[in-house]
Amino acid sequence: MNYRKFGGTDLLVSEVGLGAWAIGGPAKVGDVAIGWGNTDDKVSIAAVHAALDRGINFFDTADFYGLGHSEELLGLTLSSELDLVIATKVGHRVADDQSIYTDYSYDHIIHSCEASLGRLKRDCIDFYQMHTAKVADLKDGACIRAMEDLEQAGKIRYWGVSLNTFRPDPEAIYLLNEHIGHGMQLVLNVLNQHALPIIKSAGKKGMGIIARMPLQFGLLTGKFNQQSKFPANDHRNSRISETFITQANQLLEPFFQMAEKYGTSPAGLSISYVLGYPQISTVIPGMRNVEQVTENVDRVVDLSAADIDRIEQLYIHDFPPLLDQMKELG
């Protein structure tokens, strides 16, 4: 495992981290699935141990993943592991009518941090993120005061914002211009390269950068076909259709062929592509079993500059129809 500095902080993080959304289980809010279908905690715990064995020291979760279960599972598994970097998020809540809303008020952030610390069984959160906060929330200032007070109290070490999937620009620009926080999380993958200019600017300003969704909900593994089905309690049920899979596989064929050239898997190449940008501190594919850990860590390769450019050109010329559909489906 290789390690990278997390921006201008003193954190040294594994270049491949573990995204812990999927291991949170099949949570739903009303009729809306917010998980990845059924999970087995024993299998998830084995995956976390396999990640540790391969040198992963960065684990990213949120208080909303599994409605707290993801944090609880990491707390159960990692509480005795001190030399780790744990990141979590705050801001998503469930209303009495079972709708989802966001809350970045001072009191909510303070109370939620204590609750997350309890579930994680830790005294301090290494990187605390506002979960898709907007510019208006940041300008209000209450959330920033909360983060600064938590940092001063030793409850968190560093903080930042997990940015919107398709429109990260307003918040990213505001953070960079106002010199707010220590890092950001955003989406970067073969199909969604929208954030590349932000990544390059943030890197110059010493921001730690977490890249999420490197596999685009599994689409970039090359393992989906017309027979692929997602249960009702898997959020992909409403996001990935048979028609979309067929179109994606056709347009991704040059990328899949590139994986063969490198002797790796499409998943391995997808993660390698993200790591081809030195500004990225860590990339966090979801891993809910040992097999996924093995593939996501062991199949990483060094891409040539020419092939990184080739993938960028595919994004510009071939992938816009897919990205448009992804935006519509959320």
Q: How confident is the model at residue 77 (pLDDT cuts 50, 70, 90)?
A: very high
Q: What share of the chain is helix, strand, coil (3-state, %, to 5)?
A: 45, 15, 35
Has residue 330 got a pLDDT over 80? no
pLDDT above 80 (res 329): no
Put simply, whether the predicted model's pTM sits higher than 0.85 gets the answer yes
Domain map of the chain by residue range?
A: 3-329
Using the predicted structure, report yes or no on whether residue 325 has a pLDDT greater than 90. Answer: no
Q: Which amino acid is at 46?
A: A
Residue 229 has pLDDT above 90, yes or no: no
Q: Which pLDDT belongs to residue 243?
A: 84
More confident residue, 80 or 293: 293
- Cα distances from 217 to residues 99, 162, 163, 239, in angstroms, run 23, 17, 17, 9
pLDDT in tens, 172-216: 999 999 999 999 999 999 999 999 999 999 999 999 999 999 999
Residue 82 has pLDDT above 90, yes or no: no
Q: What pLDDT is recorded for position 14?
A: 98
Instruction: Quote the mean pLDDT of the chain.
Output: 95
CB 272 within 8 A of CB 300: yes
Torsion of CA 113, 114, 120, 124, to 10 degrees: 80
The answer regarding whether domain 3-329 maps to CATH 3.20.20.100 reads yes
In terms of DSSP bridges, do strands 58-60 and 18-19 run parallel, antiparallel, or are they unpaired? Answer: parallel
132, two tokens: 């898709």
Q: What is the pLDDT of residues 92-109, one digit of tens each?
A: 999 999 999 999 999 999
| DSSP E strand boundaries for the chain | 3-5, 12-14, 18-19, 28-29, 32-33, 58-60, 85-90, 92-94, 100-102, 125-131, 156-162, 183-187, 208-212, 282-283
For 205-228, write each residue's pLDDT tens digit: 999 999 999 999 989 999 888 788
Query: Alpha-carbon distance 145 to 132, whole Å?
Result: 17
Q: 17: Cβ–Cβ under 8 A, 6 or more apart, which residues?
A: 56, 57, 58, 59, 60, 85, 210, 282, 283, 284
Mean pLDDT of 79-98: 94
Rounded-to-integer distance, Cα 330 and Cα 328, Å: 6
Beta strands in 155-241 (DSSP E): 156-162, 183-187, 208-212
pLDDT of residue 233: 87
Start-to-end C-alpha separation, the chain: 33
Q: What are phi and psi of 307, to 5 degrees?
A: -75, -35
SS3 call for 326: helix
Percentage of residues of the chain with pLDDT beyond 70: 100
